[in-house]
Amino acid sequence: MNQQRILLVEDDMNLGFLLMEFLELEGLQVTWRKDARSAMQELQKQSFDLGVLDIMMPGMDGFSLAKHIRAKLPNFPFLFLTARLLKEDKLRGYQLGAEDYLTKPFDEEELLCKIRVILRRSAQQQQTFPQLAAKYQLGRYHFDPSRQEICIDEETRRLTEKENEILLLLCQHRNRILKRELAVQRIYGKDDYFLGRSFDVFISRLRKILREDPEVSIENVFKVGFILNVPAAS
Amino acid sequence: MNQQRILLVEDDMNLGFLLMEFLELEGLQVTWRKDARSAMQELQKQSFDLGVLDIMMPGMDGFSLAKHIRAKLPNFPFLFLTARLLKEDKLRGYQLGAEDYLTKPFDEEELLCKIRVILRRSAQQQQTFPQLAAKYQLGRYHFDPSRQEICIDEETRRLTEKENEILLLLCQHRNRILKRELAVQRIYGKDDYFLGRSFDVFISRLRKILREDPEVSIENVFKVGFILNVPAAS
DNA sequence: GGCACTTGTTAAAAAGCTGTTAATCAAACC
DNA sequence: GGTTTGATTAACAGCTTTTTAACAAGTGCC
């Protein structure tokens, strides 16, 4: 598996250096920033698997930094380091969405354990995460979302943008239920609840397109969604 | 969302009672066992979203309990409570796969925060990967709520949305009473108290579906609710 | 046993989804 | 301007699920 990337935000030179050394020895790839502003910049430049944020820092503090991060990357996991052990601070940290909250002085190995717990989970997620660039074999069909194309027996057909999006969603959930709600939200936008039948018309179209191979079908699950049934990949 | 179920394993009567009270006030459904053996039994009987394990207990200690749990349910999340603050213990806890490790005396609210963090994550994960959600073996049947399917002897049947919901509720309370009031509230909404007989009709339908295996039954408890009786998982 | 309830079951009604085709709308293209 | 292309809406038939209704059967209590 890939090396995991940690963003460490800590203004104390000694502690920062110590932690960076220690975590790198343990095989993690650490980027150390000394203030919130440059940490935000770093987050724009590259992606990380976890943030380790000090709370008391000159300029923007760790809480505000967390808020900014939350706004941009709602699912980005982070934990707090702090010397303050006020209970209110702790609760506030969790309210901001922190995964954990360590009070100094803490044990390096304990921090490492907590980091590993969090990474273990996100690694689990990435393992199964559908790849955007993937191509799909659906029975005798070959579907290439990046080219908006589907082929069968040397015959190639170019899909429309929406046909492509919806078929991709179905593929990502193939042989499982793709919930109508989820699909509609992905395709038509979050806040807009949907009354029209456009989505169904596309299902109908896709069925027509896929009907050359009887092993491939789009099955309806009443009131819930659709399943793209395909034989197990050869 | 469904109410979340916590398995609390704690031999200290005072602390156990206190925690149970507190967590239930916060809207969690808590089952409290006083020793490892009966905790394991409980895990066979019904399913939980999180385990909170004391380490020092008479008989089997928390570490051994965790090992047993890991063997049966590799993804089941749990955290440790302990009075010992030996570093080796802590590390050992994490090695066993614990999500967290709290040393007594700890603050109730902090425990609550940590519980919420863990539950938040597993909820999130299940949203993206419904196939990771629990599956149930009911005698010769296999029930997969994420696919709304129940199988017996290679024969698969797709359930309707409500059938699925109700069977899932029964499974989550299998071998114990599912209160009618609770079920109706879960399925038909909070404030609306329910006069119709729709729920009973579903029970009747589920009985018909489950009647291939005589070891599986839905038993009525007069004026209280229903019990899904299933043999202990093999 | 008699009474007031709850429960089990079936069938039919009601509610509301889905599949499809054709018509309409909107934007992009000549 | 006229045409083409793709997306959305309209319409309607057909269908599935859920609820209601009805009645038989069961339960607990006096």
**pLDDT on residue B87:** 84
Q: Under a CB-based contact definition with an 8 Å cutoff, are residues A233 and A179 in contact?
A: no
Between residues A56 and A32, the one the model is more confident about: A32
**pLDDT on residue A128:** 46
pLDDT at B91 over 70: yes
Between residues B139 and A75, the one the model is more confident about: B139
DSSP H or E run through B128: helix B108-128
Percent over 70 (pLDDT), chain B: 96
Nearest by CB to A110, which of B90, B125, B158? B90
The mean pLDDT value for A182-199 works out to 80
Residue B44: what residue type? Q
Task: Name B79's Cβ contacts closer than 8 Å, sequence gap at least 6.
Answer: B50, B51, B52, B53, B98, B99, B100, B101, B102, B114, B115, B118
The mean pLDDT value for B147-170 works out to 96
Residues of A in contact with B114 (CB under 8 A): 100
Task: Give the rounded distance of the alpha carbon of B163 from its chain centre.
Answer: 20
B37: closest CA among B15, B60, B21, B17? B60
Residues in reach of strand C, judged by a CB distance below 7 angstroms, are A 180, 197, 200-201, 203-204, 207-208, 220, 222-224; B 180, 197, 200-201, 203-205, 207-208, 220, 222-224
Number of H helices, E strands in chain A: 8, 12
**Beta bridge pairs of residue A141:** A138
pLDDT at B83 over 90: no
The mean pLDDT value for A44-72 works out to 93
B143: closest CA among B122, B163, B123, B119? B163
**pLDDT on residue B195:** 73
- Closest chain A C-alpha to B99 CA, distance in angstroms: 6
Exposure b/e, B154-163, CB count within 10 A at least 16 = b: eeeeebeebb
Tokens of B84: 């010992």
Task: For residue B147, give Cα distances in angstroms to A177, B130, B135, B206, B207.
Answer: 6, 8, 10, 17, 20
Whether B74 contacts chain A with CB within 8 A:
no
The mean pLDDT value for B130-155 works out to 91
Residue B155: what residue type? E
Residues of B in contact with A177 (CB under 8 A): 130, 146-148
The mean pLDDT value for B57-77 works out to 93
Whether B126 contacts chain A with CB within 8 A:
no
**pLDDT on residue B99:** 96
Q: Under a CB-based contact definition with an 8 Å cutoff, are residues A95 and A63 in contact?
A: no
**pLDDT on residue B130:** 76
Q: Is A192 helix (H, G, I), strand (E, B) or coil?
A: coil
In this prediction the pTM is: 0.81
